A and B are shown apart, each in its own frame.
Chain A
């Protein structure tokens, strides 16, 4: 019987040996993926014994997220407080026991809990644990301008909408506001109160970051992209002349201008953008075809998740949507290019995307990665990560960018965007009034860039959007853009 016993021993050892193998698998190979799962309550609770890094802004210096210590039984736990309340709630997000995490609290969790894999930090952490000291996380410094952020939130008021402002030369995000906002301090224990937040839209969705994940009809702001595609195609120049009968004919049907009572007659491309003439862009769209315009849009960052530091599922890609899904046509004939060219036809965009379009036009065609984090600093004050400007691509040629920028400047000077004029600055902008099909419920836009003078590249780009408006973008959104831009430009003048 000894032969079978020896073989049985091998079987028994093999079975139990498999336990070591699988323990190794779960504790090493699979551990990072499990740690990142949203329902991993063990990891989440375990991380409350870490003195989490704070999140701050520097202009002016404010703590956006800090810790309060609480002793529960044998251990010290660190709970989050958000001293600035709803001011930067969507960017910062929250870290709670009961409701997981959002925003930078989620995407930068590894840094904030100091569990980013790096030999020297791992050694420090192990030593701290041996000494019985709590693990201290890394601090995150944001590039947000909190004063401008406050102006934007106040200007939006009870209206649903968003403001994004960034420096197009570096991609640094200065303002990212979504309205209505929420107080992240309420999430842990008074979450119910958040569902009672009301605003001029239903549902109010205060937790949604409309600035980066709100998909909205771009309306005439999309004409900036169509104009860029037109110039890049070399088939058009700013002086190219069109005949405007007050409408354009698509598939035998009339598509009207915003105001059909005053057809412009013979008009060139530049004046068409300044006065936002639908028929002109409609005809350009029909001529160029949908795919050509969409390819230009792609160069501006459409159809991809923009690489902001917030979690990927709190970002949305801009583009054509069909049945809730991003859709790219296989053939030109699949899409009504005429209507798409002036921002209708199921084209949906995020405010962040439109701020980047305005920025690229203002900054010579260069599209930079948007960054809301400036740097990450270790507890000893060492810079672990310094965000440097990163070029995504040249969205349009320099000459195209300059030509479209000029058109946008005229639009502010004497066209639809006069409400955004700021003396002493060269402002270029484009209004938009996206029709949602419900009268008095338009999505109104203003996108703009600001430069010290006409020759310099822009140092500020902005997108303002409002939902459920009866007015136009020029009347509703442009004044907000001006206030926010003034707040930012004023604070950089007197540092």
Chain B
């Protein structure tokens, strides 16, 4: 079977999963089987088949697993979003549609040679930095939960950080391809621009108090630097710098301190000062309320989960128990409803995406393509780790989205761009050479 044949088959499987997931939610709600889920599955399949046709025309030799895995992830995401809030799920479905359009547009636009992007590397670099600082601009940025992530322009709002990540990877792929030989020699003066990036990452933390996106972008940077130079020492030095910088910021910023305290000690036996109401409260009733409730949600799932649509997220009168469930904490909703078996399967899907993405990087034959594919894939992996790891208390919790699953337009569109990049690189790597 060709890659495209596998892709089509995979999309059918993904659509069946998406349809069954939705059917499970509607059945739990009304205790009857309706044809809606079938209609939905057909529409879902049609959308992705359209994407498949575009891939067939523009990148026929592209990897055949990436699109079906994406489809499965968005399918699960839509079902869970629908289960939590039907209106939001409709908006999310619209975003998936827009994402597929963006994917198709990107593929068509760059079908001849995506490597033209390399010459715009500095433009991407500047754009990435600007986007990262956008939420800190007075009048544009909005502070949600003490973190500046959002930008408002008229009725539109978006998280520029998601797009900045893609731009940063494009910049780094171009820049590191150019400088990799001199960097590998380890001459100190060549590290000027890289130190500038580190400084920018630290500034972003200060400006937006967003530890997660700083960690994500800096992690991507270190990974790509390592791929470009092969020098583990750089990574160690970079990590050292980041930890050092983060420690200093920890001392200086209350917001960062609070996050770390919540991470290390979510439960207290004695009442501590609660900044939310100014009284003495147990920490699990105050600052770490969200994390603790999310852990309870995960634990309530057990091996097999409660079943899609059967989980408990509200009190008996309908009040939400876990704030930000559809974005930051979607994993704790999933883990409760589909249990250990289901969440392990979900994470396996992410792993599959990562393995295929890295395989694209391995097979690409020019430095820019390798760096681009490796950067995009590692960014995808690290983002998954940071948000789910935060929910699972492996790392301090930060507000970034779970790729393709969390509710949010910016995230969906950015990740479809990421997918477009990987498809383009893999197509080029797999094109049979003319003799």
Give the B-binding residues of A (Cβ under 8 A): 1-9, 11-13, 15-20, 22-28, 30-31, 34-35, 37, 39-43, 45-46, 48-49, 72-74, 77, 79, 97, 129, 132
The 4 residue pairs across chains A and B that have the minimum distance between CB atoms: A12-B381, A46-B312, A22-B392, A15-B385
- Determine if A31 and B302 form an interchain contact, defined as CB atoms under 8 angstroms apart: yes
Interface-located stretch among B26-34, B65-73, B247-255: B26-34
What is the 8 Å Cβ interface bit string for chain B, positions 296-319, against chain A (1 contact, 0 not)?
111111110011000111111110
- Identify which of residues 260-318 in chain B touch chain A, using a CB-to-CB cut-off of 8 Å: 267, 282, 284-285, 292-293, 295-303, 306-307, 311-318
- Determine if B29 and A16 form an interchain contact, defined as CB atoms under 8 angstroms apart: no
* Cβ-based interface call for B343 (8 A): yes
- Identify which of residues 330-384 in chain B touch chain A, using a CB-to-CB cut-off of 8 Å: 335-336, 339-340, 343-344, 347-348, 350-351, 354-355, 358, 361-362, 367, 370-371, 374, 377-378, 381-382, 384
A45 contact from B298, B299, B316, B381, Cβ within 8 A: B316
* Cβ-based interface call for B419 (8 A): no
What are the residues of chain B within 8 A of A48 when measuring CB–CB? 316
- Can you report 23 A-B residue pairs in the complex whose CB atoms are below 8 A from each other? A1-B370, A5-B374, A6-B362, A8-B226, A8-B374, A13-B351, A16-B385, A19-B392, A22-B393, A23-B340, A23-B344, A26-B335, A27-B302, A28-B303, A31-B299, A37-B296, A39-B284, A39-B292, A43-B299, A43-B300, A43-B312, A74-B29, A97-B316
- Identify which of residues 135-176 in chain B touch chain A, using a CB-to-CB cut-off of 8 Å: none
Q: How far is A3 from B232 in the complex, measured between Cα atoms in Å?
A: 12
Q: Would you give the shortest CB distance from A14 to chain B, in whole angstroms?
A: 9
- Determine if A42 and B312 form an interchain contact, defined as CB atoms under 8 angstroms apart: yes
Q: How far is A1 from B227 in the complex, measured between Cα atoms in Å?
A: 6
- Determine if B321 and A42 form an interchain contact, defined as CB atoms under 8 angstroms apart: yes
What is the 8 Å Cβ interface bit string for chain B, positions 97-109, against chain A (1 contact, 0 not)?
0000000000000
* Cβ-based interface call for B388 (8 A): yes
What are the residues of chain B within 8 A of A9 when measuring CB–CB? 354-355, 358
What are the residues of chain B within 8 A of A25 when measuring CB–CB? 392
Q: How far is A18 from B350 in the complex, measured between Cα atoms in Å?
A: 13
Q: How far is A356 from B362 in the complex, measured between Cα atoms in Å?
A: 77
- Determine if B295 and A16 form an interchain contact, defined as CB atoms under 8 angstroms apart: no
Q: Would you give the shortest CB distance from A75 to chain B, in whole angstroms?
A: 8
Given A22-B393, A23-B343, A1 and B228 contact (CB-CB distance below 8 Å): yes
Q: Would you give the shortest CB distance from A149 to chain B, in whole angstroms?
A: 31
Given A12-B378, A43-B296, A97-B315, A74 and B28 contact (CB-CB distance below 8 Å): yes
- Determine if A46 and B306 form an interchain contact, defined as CB atoms under 8 angstroms apart: yes
Count, A-B residue pairs, CB within 8 A: 156
- Determine if B394 and A22 form an interchain contact, defined as CB atoms under 8 angstroms apart: yes
Q: How far is A48 from B223 in the complex, measured between Cα atoms in Å?
A: 49
| Most B CB within 10 A of own CB, among A5, A31, A73 | A5
* Cβ-based interface call for B230 (8 A): yes
Given A2-B362, A27-B335, A97-B316, A46 and B355 contact (CB-CB distance below 8 Å): no
Query: Which residue in chain B gives the minimum CB-CB distance to A33?
Result: B299
Q: How many residues of B contact A (CB 8 A)?
A: 65
Q: Using A6-B362, A39-B285 as known contacts, list a sample of 13 further A-B pairs with CB atoms less than 8 Å apart, ordered by residue number in A.
A: A5-B370, A8-B226, A9-B355, A12-B354, A22-B389, A25-B392, A26-B298, A41-B293, A43-B296, A46-B306, A73-B318, A74-B28, A97-B315
- Determine if B230 and A4 form an interchain contact, defined as CB atoms under 8 angstroms apart: yes
What are the residues of chain B within 8 A of A41 when measuring CB–CB? 293, 296, 315, 321
Query: Which residue in chain A gives the minimum CB-CB distance to B351?
Result: A16
What are the residues of chain B within 8 A of A15 when measuring CB–CB? 381-382, 385, 389
- Identify which of residues 109-131 in chain B touch chain A, using a CB-to-CB cut-off of 8 Å: none
- Determine if A77 and B316 form an interchain contact, defined as CB atoms under 8 angstroms apart: yes
- Determine if A16 and B312 form an interchain contact, defined as CB atoms under 8 angstroms apart: no
- Determine if B285 and A27 form an interchain contact, defined as CB atoms under 8 angstroms apart: no
What are the residues of chain B within 8 A of A20 when measuring CB–CB? 343-344, 347-348
Query: Which residue in chain A gives the minimum CB-CB distance to B382?
Result: A15
- Determine if B389 and A8 form an interchain contact, defined as CB atoms under 8 angstroms apart: no
